[in-house]
Amino acid sequence: MKYSIILSLFFILAFTKSFAQPKIIDKVVAQVGDNIVLFSEIEGQKQSMKQNGIPDADINDCAILEQMLYNFLLVNQAELDSIQISDEQVDAEMENKLRMIESQMKNVKDEKGNPITIESFYGKTKLQIKEEFRTIIKKRMQGQEVERGITSAIDVSPLDVENFFKSIPKDSLPYINSQLSFQQIAIFPAITKNDKDIAYKQLSDIRKQVVSGKTSFCSAAAFYSEDPGSAKICGRIEGTRGQMARPFEATAYSLKVGEISEVFETEFGYHFMQLIERKGDDYVVNHILIAPKFSLDNLDASSKRIEKCYSELKENKITWEDAVKIYSNDANTKENKGFITNPITGEIKWSVEQVNQVDPMMFQLTDGLEINQITAPLLYYDFNERKEAIRIVRVAERTKPHVGNLTDDYNLFRMMALEQKKQKAIETWTKSKISTAYIRIDDSFKDCQFQNQWVPKAP
């Protein structure tokens, strides 16, 4: 069995166990220290794996149980070491997991064909769901800290990478699909004080309509709000401390239930909100956002500036690197020669699938370009900054599909070698800790062929 450096999600297990179709009689099937594994959790994990497209033949009860035993061995050690995780860290992780589950549930429907949401599935609000799983999330994060301590000092040398590569049979070397990297010069038109004043007045007028009762908050949000994720649901935002912009959170915590705030500013624009519910650090608000718009004059000035940049690049009057320094005002790419980071991997290389997933327009613009060719200036919406800009894009690299090799794919094999070394360290640690922990496994799993000897064999 191969242990995962990122722990299996206790939260997902707890959530998905209820998706199992047949009703089962639950029981404790294993225990590590004070932590127990329920039969329903194994069934829930199996159901989750099926929903994620894993074939039945690749789903093994014994392997699932062993992963859970390992997870709880980490948690047990964390309790012995008194590892502390702050409430802010737990809440931030909770939000990430909720968003992931919501994404997985997009196509899940009930027997009548109606979409299932987290709230409708449990018959509870998100705040109540969070309260139930907060302890589970905290334990998982404590276990991660223990695992980090096992592997944090591990590294590999170039010789380690070379030896790892040579150990892979030639017919087992990975096939690498075409990968691309892109650079851009982006100019965001300036937002003036007058532009901001116009947005502020517009939102202030909307607020007056809501406060006076001339229009409902929900109607105003649907008609006016420029937050696409919440506008259609009354501007509803469910958050916790540390998740949103500071002025947004400060306003949420300052209100009484039902109270409507004054207009306030964040980096995304102007808002006002109404507090719906608050419990501890968690809150539910309805809000409306209006973002300042740049004037046509500033758009024209930016267009002329990037056209000048484009002309100088086409005529080879300036290098790409110098053009980025002189013309770009995009903080996310300016200091990295314009390279656009892949948010999925954190690297500058993209697969075609990743490009289409994150920025489909990018692939359409660059598909026919040669290396170092550039696109003409084009207006686009930057999802990181949540505003429009004008950009020139260059294809920096486009690899051909090939069998993995050390010359072209050194970083890939370095990561693989490092992962293997970490796995060996984890296996050594696990074997050393099993003998010191209280572990019990139900007889229904006595025939499992575990990687580790979790309980002593009967004489």
Last residue of a domain, one of 240, 256, 290: 290
Query: Which residues contact residue 441 at a Cβ distance below 8 angstroms, ignoring those fewer than 6 apart?
Result: 29, 30, 65, 69, 454, 455
The answer to whether 352 touches 340, Cβ cutoff 8 Å, is: no
pLDDT digit string, tens, across residues 19-73: 434 455 679 999 999 899 999 889 888 887 887 778 888 899 999 999 999 999 9
pLDDT > 70: percent of the chain: 93
Strand order through the sheet with 28-32 = 35-38, 28-32, 439-441
Establish if 457 belongs to a structural domain. Answer: no
pLDDT digit string, tens, across residues 376-389: 999 988 877 778 89
| Local confidence band at 367 (pLDDT 50, 70, 90 cut-offs) | confident
- 49 with 149, same domain: the answer is yes
Residue 59 sits in which domain range? 10-155+414-445
Region 252-265: what's the mean pLDDT? 96
**How far apart, in Å, are the Cα atoms of 368 and each of 23, 60, 147, 358, 362?**
55, 46, 46, 19, 11
Q: Which of 86-90, 202-206, 265-269, 444-448 has the highest mean pLDDT?
A: 202-206
Last residue of a domain, one of 275, 290, 305: 290
Q: Side chain identity at 280, as an amino acid letter?
A: G
> Above 90 in pLDDT, residue 241?
no
Establish if 171 belongs to a structural domain. Answer: no
- 151 with 210, same domain: the answer is no
| Local confidence band at 12 (pLDDT 50, 70, 90 cut-offs) | very low
What pLDDT was estimated at residue 131?
79
What pLDDT was estimated at residue 21?
43
Question: How many whole angstroms separate alpha carbon 318 and alpha carbon 450?
Answer: 63
Establish if 30 belongs to a structural domain. Answer: yes
> Above 60 in pLDDT, residue 4?
no
Sign of CA dihedral 395, 397, 400, 404: negative
What pLDDT was estimated at residue 280?
83
What pLDDT was estimated at residue 393?
95
CA-wise closest residue to 76 among 458, 437, 445: 437
What pLDDT was estimated at residue 409?
87
> Above 90 in pLDDT, residue 99?
no
Q: Which of 13-22, 206-215, 227-236 has the highest mean pLDDT?
A: 206-215
Establish if 174 belongs to a structural domain. Answer: no
> What secondary structure letter does DSSP report for 109?
B
What pLDDT was estimated at residue 170?
93
Domain count, the chain: 3
Tokens 């010191």: give the residue: 436
The answer to whether 374 touches 393, Cβ cutoff 8 Å, is: yes
State the virtual CA torsion across 441, 447, 453, 456 in degrees, nearest 10.
70
The mean predicted confidence, pLDDT, of the chain is 87
Last residue of a domain, one of 365, 400, 435: 400
pLDDT > 90: percent of the chain: 57
Q: Quick one: which H or E segment has residue 78?
A: helix 61-80
What is the CA angle 336-339-340, rounded to 5? 125
Partner residues linked to 260 by β-bridges: 274
> Above 80 in pLDDT, residue 254?
yes
More confident residue, 154 or 281: 154
What pLDDT was estimated at residue 25?
64
Region 86-104: what's the mean pLDDT? 76
Exposed/middle/buried for residue 338 (C-beta within 10 Å: 0-12, 13-18, 19+): buried
Region 342-346: what's the mean pLDDT? 83
**Buried-state track 228-249, b at ≥16 Cβ within 10 A, e below 16:** eebbeebbbbbbbbebbeeebb
More confident residue, 413 or 87: 413
> Above 60 in pLDDT, residue 11?
no
Tokens 């997985």: give the residue: 104
Establish if 100 belongs to a structural domain. Answer: yes
- 211 with 308, same domain: the answer is no
Region 203-225: what's the mean pLDDT? 96
- 51 with 145, same domain: the answer is yes
- 39 with 85, same domain: the answer is yes
| Local confidence band at 104 (pLDDT 50, 70, 90 cut-offs) | low
Region 7-27: what's the mean pLDDT? 47
- 247 with 377, same domain: the answer is no
Q: Tell me, what CATH number does 344's domain have?
A: 3.10.50.40
What pLDDT was estimated at residue 391?
95
- 338 with 428, same domain: the answer is no
Question: How many whole angstroms separate alpha carbon 413 and alpha carbon 405?
Answer: 8
Establish if 409 belongs to a structural domain. Answer: no
pLDDT digit string, tens, across residues 404-413: 999 888 988 9
